[in-house]
A and B are shown apart, each in its own frame.
Chain A
Amino acid sequence: MLNDVYGNRRLVIGGLMILVVLIYIIRLFDLQIIDDTYQDKADSNAFLKKIEFPARGLIKDRNGEILVFNKPAYDVMMVVREMKDFDTTTFCKLLNITPLNFVERTKEMRRRKGYSPYTPQPFMTQLSAEDYGILQEQLFRFPGISLQKRTLRDYNYHNAALLLGSIGEVNKKMIDADPDFYVQGDYAGQNGIEQTYEKYLRGEKGMEIFLRDAHGRVQGRYENGDYDVASKPGNDLTLSIDINLQAYGEQLMQNKVGSIAAIDPSTGEILALVSSPTYDPSLLVGRKRSVNYAKLLNDPLLPLYDRPMMACYPPGSTFKTANALILQQEKIIREYTAFPCHSGYHVGSFTVGCHAHFSPLNLVQSVQHSCNAYYCAGFRAMMDHPKYKGISNSFEVWKQHVVSLGFGYKLGADVPNEKRGFIPNSKYYDQIYGENRWKSLMIVSNSIGQGEILATPLQIANLAAIIANRGYYYVPHLVKDIEGQQLDSLYRTKKVSTIDSIYFLPVIDGMELVMSSGTGYASRIDSIAVCGKTGTAQNPHGEDHSLFMAFAPKNNPKIAICVVVENSGFGATWAAPIATLMMEKYLKGYIPRRRQWMEDRILKANLLPKKYANETK
Chain B
Amino acid sequence: MPTRQNNIVKNIDWVTVTIYLLMVIAGWFCIYGAVYHFEDASFWDFSYRYGKQLVWIGLSIGIAFTLLMLDSRLYNLFAYEIYAILMLLLLVTIFVAPEIKGSRSWLVLGPVSLQPAEFAKTATCLAVARVMSTTGFKVTRLGDFVKVICFILFPMLLILLQNETGSALVYASLLLVLYREGLPGIILILLFFLAVIFVVSIRFGDVPILAAFPDESYGLFLVILITLAVQNGFLLVFQKDRKITMSMVLFDVIVLLLAYLVYKIFHLNFRFTYVGYGIIAVKFIYLIVISFQKRLYTYFWIGLFAIASVGISSMSDMAFDKLKPHQQSRIRVTLGMENDPQKAGYNVNQSKIAIGSGGVSGKGFLNGTQTKLKYVPEQDTDFIFCTVGEEHGFVGSFVVMILFLILMLRLVFLAERQRSLFSRIYGYCVASIIFFHVAVNIGMVIGLTPVIGIPLPFFSYGGSSLWGFTILLFIFLRLDASRTEYFG
Contacts and interface: CB of A to CB of B under 8 A. Distances in A.
Interface of A: 1-2, 4-7, 9-10, 12-14, 16-18, 20-21, 23-25, 27-29, 31-33, 35, 37-39, 41-43, 45-47, 211-215, 219-220
6 closest Cβ pairs, A-B complex: A38-B356, A42-B357, A46-B369, A213-B373, A220-B38, A32-B394
B98 interface: no
Point out which of B356, B415, B448 has the most chain A C-beta atoms below 10 A from its C-beta: B356
B459 interface: no
B356 A9 contact: no
A24 B369 contact: no
Contact of B353 (A14, A42, A212): A42
A211 B180 contact: no
A135 B415 CA distance: 72
Contacts of A37: 356
B419 interface: yes
A501 B439 CA distance: 96
Interface in B403-460: 404-405, 408-409, 412, 415-421, 424, 428, 431-432, 435, 438-439, 442-443, 446, 448
Interface in B344-366: 350, 352-360
Contact of B370 (A13, A20, A29, A46): A46
A16 B188 CA distance: 12
A38 B442 contact: no
Nearest to A18: B405
B356 A6 contact: no
Nearest to A20: B439
B356 A214 contact: no
B213 to A, nearest CB: 37
Contact of A39 (B359, B375, B432): B359
B373 A32 contact: no
Contacts of B353: 38, 41-42, 45
A223 to B, nearest CB: 9
Given A20-B439, A24-B443, A28-B389, 6 more contacts: A10-B416, A13-B431, A17-B412, A33-B359, A43-B369, A46-B370
A7 B354 CA distance: 42
A10 B180 contact: yes
A341 to B, nearest CB: 89
Interface of B: 37-39, 176, 179-182, 185, 350, 352-360, 369-370, 372-375, 377, 389-390, 393-394, 397-398, 401-402, 404-405, 408-409, 412, 415-421, 424, 428, 431-432, 435, 438-439, 442-443, 446, 448
A9 B182 CA distance: 9
A211 B369 contact: yes
A14 B409 contact: yes
A2 B421 contact: yes
B404 A21 contact: yes
A13 B357 contact: no
B402 to A, nearest CB: 7
Nearest to A118: B342
Given A21-B401, A29-B394, A6 B180 contact: yes
B408 A9 contact: no
Contact of B446 (A7, A24, A42, A215): A24
B373 A13 contact: no
Contacts of B354: 42
Contacts of B370: 42, 45-46
Point out which of B181, B370, B438 has the most chain A C-beta atoms below 10 A from its C-beta: B370
A269 B58 CA distance: 83
Given A27-B446, A42-B370, A220-B39, A17 B182 contact: no
A27 B420 CA distance: 39
B373 A219 contact: yes
A33 B424 contact: no
A32 B359 CA distance: 5
A31 B355 contact: yes
Mostly helix, strand, loop or mixed at chain B's interface? helix
27 contacts: A2-B418, A2-B421, A2-B424, A6-B180, A9-B180, A10-B412, A10-B415, A16-B435, A24-B443, A25-B398, A25-B401, A27-B448, A28-B355, A31-B356, A32-B355, A32-B356, A33-B359, A39-B357, A41-B357, A42-B356, A42-B369, A42-B370, A42-B390, A46-B370, A213-B375, A214-B350, A219-B37
B405 A213 contact: no
A349 to B, nearest CB: 89
A6 B181 contact: yes
Nearest to B423: A2
A606 to B, nearest CB: 67
B336 to A, nearest CB: 14
Contacts of A9: 179-180
Contacts of A25: 397-398, 401
Contact of A32 (B389, B415, B448): B389
Contacts of B419: 1-2
Contacts of B355: 28, 31-32, 38
A41 B346 CA distance: 13
B394 A1 contact: no
Contacts of A215: 374
A46 B375 contact: yes
A21 B389 contact: no
A127 to B, nearest CB: 31
Contacts of A13: 176, 179-180, 412, 428, 431-432
B38 A211 contact: yes
Contact of B398 (A6, A28, A45): A28
Nearest to A28: B397
Contact of B448 (A16, A17, A23, A219): A23
Contacts of A27: 446, 448
Contact of B412 (A4, A14, A33, A214): A14
Contacts of B424: 2
A18 B404 CA distance: 10
Point out which of A6, A17, A20 has the most chain B C-beta atoms below 10 A from its C-beta: A17
B180 A32 contact: no
A360 B364 CA distance: 98
B194 to A, nearest CB: 17
Contacts of A4: 182
